[in-house]
Amino acid sequence: MKIIQDLQEMTAWSKEQTVAGKTIGFVPTMGCFHEGHLALMRQAGELAGQVVVSLFVNPTQFGPQEDLAAYPRDFARDQELAASVGVDVIFAPEPEDMYPAGCNTTVTVGKELTGQLCGASRPGHFAGVATVVSKLFNIVRPDLAVFGEKDFQQLAVIRRMTEDLNLGVEIIGHPIIREQDGLAMSSRNAYLQEAERETALSLSRALAMARTMAADGELHAESLTATLQKFILSFSGTELDYISFVDQASLQPVVEIDKDTVLALAVKINGRVRLIDNGFVAGGEK
């Protein structure tokens, strides 16, 4: 497995692969790999001849109140894990190369997709994501890119941006990978203290509860929301960011849920760890 830091070297490597007739599958990450990341890398490997994983903790998607410096990092472990699933290249650029002095362009996707859910409590976050992902696409030049469905709004934003800017990259969504007890895998789970681990299950259990209620005929988003709110707040230390039933494509709230409705949740635990989860609730496949 090659480690590339230099932006030009990365593009030159990709061009060589393309000239040699190989396709490139890309998995953008911020590192601290868990089984969820590895599943994305395996899928990229099944779909493309070469797999590139970027490892870059992107400063522009962190808000002023969010601790960029404390974001978990373990390059040696990440390198081993990526090699174990057959990744060909880790692209690990330096922040000053990605954002050199004078860099002054931001990619923003319209408010319909970015103004609500995580976008409401993290202003500027999706502009940071869209900007870095478009830069990474331009540097790595992949044929396809795989993103986790846990970051459901991010995936919708990236699909929109890729189509609107004609970036020519096929965007693949990978289903959420969960721990045995249902907790959606996330790098942020590393912040959870032992007692908070149980509280973190409030999200996946709320999803299961919504599915049961929907199967029993409760399809009214407002009533479902009220019940789920009570349920989540019954776990000690939970603070709700949002509970929202939205259309899977437009991300707009719905009144009555149906098979295209996604329940999206964001919960803060003990004021420190913000976790998200989502899933279809009424006859969908997730």
28 lies in the site for ligand PAF, by CB under 6 A: yes
133 binds ligand PAF (CB under 6 A): yes
Give the nearest distance from C-beta 282 to ligand PAF in angstroms: 27
| Strands 144-148, 89-91: pairing kind | unpaired
For the question of residue 37 being annotated catalytic, the response is yes
Helices of type H across 115-240: 118-121, 125-140, 152-164, 194-215, 221-233
From residue 207 to residue 246, the character string flagging contacts with ligand PAF as x (rule: CB under 6 A) and all else as - is ----------------------------------------
Pick the binder of ligand PAF from 14, 17, 29, 202 (CB under 6 A).
Answer: 29
Candidates 7-15, 18-26, 129-137, 176-184: pick the segment binding ligand PAF (CB under 6 A): 129-137
Q: Locate the DSSP E strands across the chain.
A: 2-4, 24-29, 50-55, 89-91, 144-148, 170-174, 238-247, 261-269, 273-280
Q: Confirm or reject binding of residue 58 to ligand PAF (CB under 6 A).
A: yes
**Annotated binding-site residue? 163:** no
Using alpha carbons only, what angle is made at residue 129 by residues 128 and 135, rounded to the nearest 5 degrees? 90
Residue 89 corresponds to which tokens in the numbers above? 């290249």
- Tell me if 53 contacts ligand PAF by CB under 6 A: no
Number of C-beta neighbours around residue 6 at 10 A: 14
Pairing of strands 144-148, 24-29: parallel
Q: How far is the CA of 58 from the CAs of 8, 69, 136, 169, in angstroms?
A: 19, 11, 11, 21
Nearest approach in angstroms of CB 193 to ligand PAF is: 23
Q: Is 266 in the site for ligand PAF (CB under 6 A)?
A: no
Which residues belong to the active site?
37
Task: Kindly list the residues in this chain that would bind ligand PAF in the complex (CB under 6 A).
Answer: 28-30, 58, 61, 129, 132-133, 151, 154
Instruction: Pick out the residues of the known binding site.
Output: 30-37, 61, 148-151, 154, 177, 185-188
